[in-house]
Each structure stands twice: as structure tokens, then as C-alpha cells.
Structure 1
């Protein structure tokens, strides 16, 4: 079967890097993104890079029912062999605030967890019926830390991490691989807009290569770069009072 790759979040920098990576292998691509102008520019770059075919779709993932219907329609027309769900939002509490705005909490929960989970569940059922396929969900290393200045982001990504692991367990007997990717810092406009240091930052192209390799191997969980695995262990090992103090100290100035 020829490769048909869906990338949800292709108008972002990481999604665009993944689209170019798979275009170079000659895959047929379905590219979804919020920014129509960027999406069309990325589609053209992928045509030049060698994609077998390209279909684009611009939609709001907070309209979950419409997104699921669109996904089912596209999968009916040409079944996906690989889906990478990159879409997500990141934010931290506003300067001078004690906690995050409730509207921000609700929005990040929808975009970072509810919509990706619903789309992955749709794909999982369809791929399982075909006895093959791969799903990759992009989480965050922040999911493993109770960040008091980014509770909505960390919490929504934590929910996605647990959901992805459960989906992986359910899908494995049916020939469908499910991979969770938990990156640290990736050099995107969204990341640059958040104040504070960003150690071990990866370029979108570097991250895309690592993600594609993990997907091809059917890896259960990719944490990148590797020192973030160590941070996860330290977080779990520290006494709670010391851990709480450390996490509070990580907040950017004024946050």
C-alpha cells in the first residue's frame, strides 16, 4: 500500500517540517492547519519536494464534531497509513496573575487534549478495522511536571499522554502502532514568545527527523532530547516540598 500521511497542525513550524520530511519520501499528503496562507505555502513547498499528491484543509479543531466528520470523509476516500497530530497551543499565566484565566484553561483543554483524542480515537477504530496503520500524537515534556505557571498547558498535555498510552495498549493487538512524542523545547514562534530560558532547544527539522524515525519504528514513547527523561525521574524522586519549591522557582519573571 502506498503511503498516505495526514498531518494535523501542518501550518505550524513543526507540522511544516514533518510535511516536508514525508514529501521528500514521495508520500501522498493531507495537510490540515488553522492558517490558510501558511498552509498553501507549505503545500507548494511539499509539491516541489516530491509529494505524490497533496490535499489541504483549514478548520477549527474546537469544532470537534466537524473535524471528526471531515477526518472520516477523507479516510473513506483514501485510507491513511500514518497520522501525526501535531496541533496544540501553549501559554502561561498572565503577568501579575495568580493563576490562568478560565477561558484559557478551557481553550487549551479543547485544543491540546479533547480534539486530538477524539481524532485519534476515530483513526484508531478505522485503522484497526484495516489491521494496520500508525498514529503519532505530539505531547510535551511539560506533561510530567505540575507547572504552577502553565497548569492548563501541562495538564492538557498530561491528559493527552495518558490517553495515548491507553490507545496504544488497545490498538496493538490490531496491528496499529500509537506513538506519544514528548518534546522539550522546539524553536518555533510560539516557543520564542514565551519568556525564560529554553535549554537543549531543537530546530523543527531536527525534531521532525526524530519523530519520523520513532513512528517508523512503532516506538511507544519518544522523549526528546534525552535529558528530559532525567528531569522526569528527578521530579518523581524529589520529596514533595522540595519539588514544589523547585517548580515555583521555574516560573519566568513576573509569572
Structure 2
């Protein structure tokens, strides 16, 4: 049995971990990322494991070009699984009161517009075929109004709500859409309380997407923080959020 898998952000830590875990005989990987040398390196590792790996280096801020490329790649061979990982987590610049408007636009484009549009395009194609599984990476920060990362948390909050709505829209057509919300994310190994390594996130994400789960929050303690944020009286919540600083 042959399986076609699409991964964005494959030149980053989580995208790479997903690619390596999924690579094997009978697997074709379409790996997208911004860092072409790193992308080629990841593809080489995947080929060593027996997978067929193709790469595409592009900036997702050009949404029209990304959608055209996605349609082209899916036309060459329909994707069975898709992992939308790419995103940016820039925070407030030192000494600034609010984020630069250009940064707000860029994060909204990269963290919400591009992945939402690509998820919609994939979901529509998969629904027409009657099968498919999509995993989209959000963040636990989407549940919190972070003063030092307003554009990041806000753009990911929009993505979270959109992906949940998309999941409902295509559920009757044999397509599942899973939102994955990591907490503090470590590229290789945890260095702070609550961090989780890329490889551990990748393993849990693959299992959740294959099982068709609606959402995966890792580590699970961030589910408690989500409810704490919702239930805490606003004056106390505001005081707590204002005390936070960028990591």
C-alpha cells in the first residue's frame, strides 16, 4: 500500500521530526519549508529510510503561490495525510509597547491566512475523494491574551476556531481535521518546565491525526491552564497576564 503525505514547515524541528517518523518504504513525502539546505537534508534522511521525498521551498506569505503549488502537488498524486506545521512565533520587540504593524500583518498571514486557506483546499479535495486526514499545528498560547505576543496568540486563536469549524464542515465526507496545540515547545530537548520535545510532539501528533481526534493538547497540563484562564475573574487574570514576559 502506497501513502502520500504532505508536510509544511519540514525544515523546522517539528516538521523534520514528523517527516523522519513517517518516512519508510511505500511512503511518498512532499516536504515544504523556507530553509532549502535544511529541507534537502531532511529529504535525504527520509530517502535513507526508504521513502520517496520531494521538496519545495517557498514563503507561505504568498498565499496564492502556495495554493497553486498545493493544487499542483495534489494533482500529481492525491495526499492521504497532511500536516500543516509552518508558522512564526515572533514576540514584542524589546522596548516596544505594542508590536510593529508590519509584524502583525506577517504573523496573521503566516499563522492564520495561509494554513487556513491550505487546510480548506486540502479538505475540499479530500472530501471529493471521500477520505483524508489533516493535522494543523496551533498553540496553547491561542487560549491566552499574551501582551508580549498579541499577534502570535491572536493569529493562532483565529486558526484554532477556523480549524474546529472546518472539522465539523467536512466530518460527514470521510475527512478528519485535527488541531494540535503544543505548550512551550523545545526544538530538541526540554529546557524549561512544561516544554516538550519536537520528537515527542511529532509522535503524539501522528497518532492523534491517524485516530481522527478533534484536538490534541500537549502537555495535557495546558488544558488546565486553559480552564484557569477562562474561570479566573478578569481583574486577577489581567494582572497575571500583565506580569508575564517574553520567554
TM-score range, shorter chain: over 0.9
Write out aligned runs for 1:242-253 (5 A).
Answer: 242-252=236-246
Q: Which residue of 2 aligns with 1:212?
A: 206
- CA distance in 2 between counterparts of 1:252 and 1:115 reads 25
Following superposition of structure 1 onto structure 2, how do residues 1-255 of structure 1 map, counting pairs within 5 Å? 2-24=2-24, 26-51=26-51, 53-188=52-187, 198-252=192-246
Contact 2:2-2:26 at 8 Å conserved across structures: no
Write out per-residue CA displacement over residues 218-250 of structure 1, whole angstroms, 9 at most, x where no aligned residue.
Answer: 000000000000000000000000000001111
Between 1:201-210 and 1:180-189, the stretch displaced more is 180-189
CA distance in 2, matches of 1:252, 1:127: 39
Structure 2: how far apart are the matches of 1:130 and 1:26? Answer: 21
Q: State the alpha-carbon separation in 1 of the partners of residues 25 and 242 from structure 2.
A: 45
CA-atom RMSD, angstroms?
1.6
Q: Distance in 2 between matches of 1:154 and 1:198?
A: 20
Deviation of 1:188 after TM superposition, in Å, equals 2.2
TM superposition outliers: structure 1 runs of 4+ over 2 Å: none
The answer (yes or no) to whether the contact 2:85–2:136 under 8 Å persists in 1 is: yes
CA distance in 1, matches of 2:235, 2:24: 50
How much has 1:25 moved relative to structure 2?
A: 6.5
Q: Distance in 2 between matches of 1:183 and 1:210?
A: 10
The CA deviation at 1:201 is 1.0
TM-score by length of 2: 0.96
**SS across alignment from 2:196:** coil
User: Aligned equivalents of 2:138 and 2:205: distance in 1?
Assistant: 12
Do the aligned partners of residues 252 and 56 (structure 1) sit closer, same or farther apart at CA in structure 2, a change above 3 Å counting? closer
The unaligned stretches of length 5 or more in structure 2 are none
Task: Give the drift of 1:203.
Answer: 1.2
**TM value normalised by structure 1:** 0.93
